[in-house]
């Protein structure tokens, strides 16, 4: 039975990857174009006015933030959109009759979300790095935070997809929670340039630690220690994953 469940999880994972890959122009190409537009607008406007960490060019500073922002947003979108589409179209019933455990569902959906997030992030990096190569001071931090951040957002997307019953609710979750936390996480600025109140607010935002730790891998410097960021992101990943697994185990809003 365990072999059957493993094969089922692998099949579901492959199905989820193929789901976004068959429309790669929309799921990968469009986010890359959006990131390039952000770079052109903010980079052109602020390149000659802002220096970060004392010596880092603003465009070089901006590129890792845009890469990580793209990873996070697309990992969330993959898991959440897949589940809500299956619920609305009714084909979720074909998964419910299988012997897949809640762990298999979690691994397949979150695994596919990580793949899409990393694919989009790599695409953004390839296209934008020509503007200002940011350097690679500690590549292992880049990989750790990219995978862990994508996994966290994939698990959060799974929760959102389970909770939402229509696309309007999913859009509200993304527009009022994911987008504000992403944009207020230091993608376009160093949080040390903020007034004390907003600096404290930024440090309460888990997205800040994902992006700051990821950026540390490029420059070797960051607003906080990467070990602190890793600890906070790791705890957030475990907590969000635990909630997602429990909801899947109960069949929350999918087993009526």
| Domains of the chain, residue spans | 2-250
Nearest of 166, 184, 173 to residue 76 by alpha carbon: 173
pLDDT of residue 256: 59
pLDDT of residue 191: 79
Residues of the chain with pLDDT under 50: 1
Phi, psi of 110 (to 5 degrees): -70, -40
* Positive or negative torsion for Cα 116, 119, 123, 125: positive
Nearest of 198, 216, 192 to residue 61 by alpha carbon: 216
Contact in structure between 128 and 77 (CB atoms under 8 Å): no
pLDDT of residue 229: 95
| Predicted TM-score of the model (pTM) | 0.91
Contact in structure between 110 and 9 (CB atoms under 8 Å): no
pLDDT of residue 134: 73
* CA dist., res. 171 & res. 105, Å (int): 23
The one-character DSSP state at 178 is: I
pLDDT of residue 100: 84
Calculate what percentage of the chain has a pLDDT beyond 70.
93
Q: Distances from the Cα of 60 to the Cαs of 1, 35, 141, 208, 223, in angstroms? A: 51, 14, 17, 18, 16
What is the CB-side half-sphere exposure of residue 62 using CA atoms within 13 A?
Answer: 23
pLDDT of residue 145: 97
């Amino acid at each position: 039975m365990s072999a059957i469940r493993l094969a089922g999880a692998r099949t579901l994972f492959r199905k989820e990857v193929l789901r976004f890959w068959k429309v790669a122009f929309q799921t990968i190409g469009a986010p890359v174009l959006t990131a390039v537009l952000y770079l052109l607008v903010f980079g052109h406007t602020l390149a000659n006015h802002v220096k970060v960490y004392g010596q880092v060019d603003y465009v070089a500073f901006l590129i890792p933030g845009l890469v990580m922002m793209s990873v996070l947003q697309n990992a969330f979108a993959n898991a959440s959109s897949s589940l809500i589409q299956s619920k609305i179209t009714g084909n979720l019933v074909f998964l419910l009759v299988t012997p897949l455990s809640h762990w298999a569902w979690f691994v397949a959906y979150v695994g596919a979300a990580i793949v899409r997030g990393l694919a989009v992030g790599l695409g953004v990096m390839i296209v934008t790095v020509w503007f200002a190569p940011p350097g690679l001071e500690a590549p292992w931090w880049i990989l750790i935070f990219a995978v862990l951040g994508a996994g966290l957002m994939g698990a959060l997307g799974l929760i959102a997809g389970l909770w939402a019953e229509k696309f309007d609710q999913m859009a509200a979750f993304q527009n009022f929670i994911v987008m504000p936390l992403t944009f207020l996480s230091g993608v376009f600025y160093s949080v040390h340039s903020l007034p004390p109140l907003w600096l404290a607010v930024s440090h309460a935002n888990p997205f800040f630690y994902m992006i700051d730790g990821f950026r540390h891998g490029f420059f070797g410097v960051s607003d906080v220690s990467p070990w602190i960021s890793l600890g906070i992101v790791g705890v957030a990943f475990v907590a969000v994953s635990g909630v997602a697994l429990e909801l899947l185990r109960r069949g929350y809003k999918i087993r009526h």
